[in-house]
Amino acid sequence: MPPTATTAPAPAPPATTPRWTDLLATATDDCLAALQKGADHDWSRLAHDLDWTCRQTLDHLALGLTGYAGLLIARPVDRYVTLFASLDPQAPIPACLDGLRIAASLLTSTVRDTAADVRAWHPWGHSDATGFAAMGITELAVHTYDITRALGIPWALPDDTSTAVLARLFPDAPSGHRPSDTLLWCTGRAPLPGLPRSTDWQWDGTVR
């Protein structure tokens, strides 16, 4: 009798629907467009309510997005990865914004290619690719808010993106408010009606 043919196991499905990679890509485009409007402003001034300058905040953002991609790739169980990707401190702001796009694209590609069962360490909850996508969007949104406020550029967080991030990272967020305002409250940026500004906050990236 001929040997029975065996079928290779199917690869694990991706961890995300296109919705999360689309949200991350859209948030990147939206934030970069806002930051580009202030490229000729004074980036040595402090970002809104932070101890970092606007330029340092941009560097922190690029480092964080690259770090999230690294966590999903290396999948440590108890530590950050050792790769740090800082922007050239002598580069002009438009070139730094190119660097930020590279960092965001690396995270988007990594989220897209990460299987559903993958988990990686984060101090605010071991998470999957959807969680790291939401973290990346949060970093982009709140630090774009910090910088544009300091530079005097009108910009608001998109409500549809904020709704998705709140559901994924802030399950106990207060209801009844505009989602973008709620995300600012959850990240300690602004008060809500009847709720003072939060001074001690963190998200929950745990897979639920």
pLDDT tens, position by position, 24-67: 999 999 999 999 999 999 999 999 999 999 999 999 999 999 99
Of 90, 98, 82, 108, the closest CA to residue 27 belongs to 108
pTM: predicted TM-score of the whole model, two decimal places: 0.90
Is 154 exposed, middle or buried, given 0-12, 13-18 or 19+ CB atoms closer than 10 A?
exposed
Give the pLDDT score at 83: 81
SS3 helix, strand, coil % of the chain, rounded to 5?
50, 5, 45
Q: Binning pLDDT at 50, 70 and 90, where does residue 18 land?
A: low
- C-alpha to C-alpha distance for 7 and 28, rounded to whole angstroms: 40
- Distance CA(129)–CA(68), nearest Å, equals 9
C-beta separation of 101 from 32 below 8 A: yes
Domain positions in the chain: 18-186
- Nearest by Cα to 127 from 143, 103, 111: 111
27 to 19, 30, 46, 159: CA distances (angstroms): 12, 5, 23, 11
The string of pLDDT tens digits covering residues 73-105 is 999 889 988 887 889 999 999 999 999 999 999
Q: What superfamily in CATH does domain 18-186 come from? A: dinb family like domain (1.20.120.450)
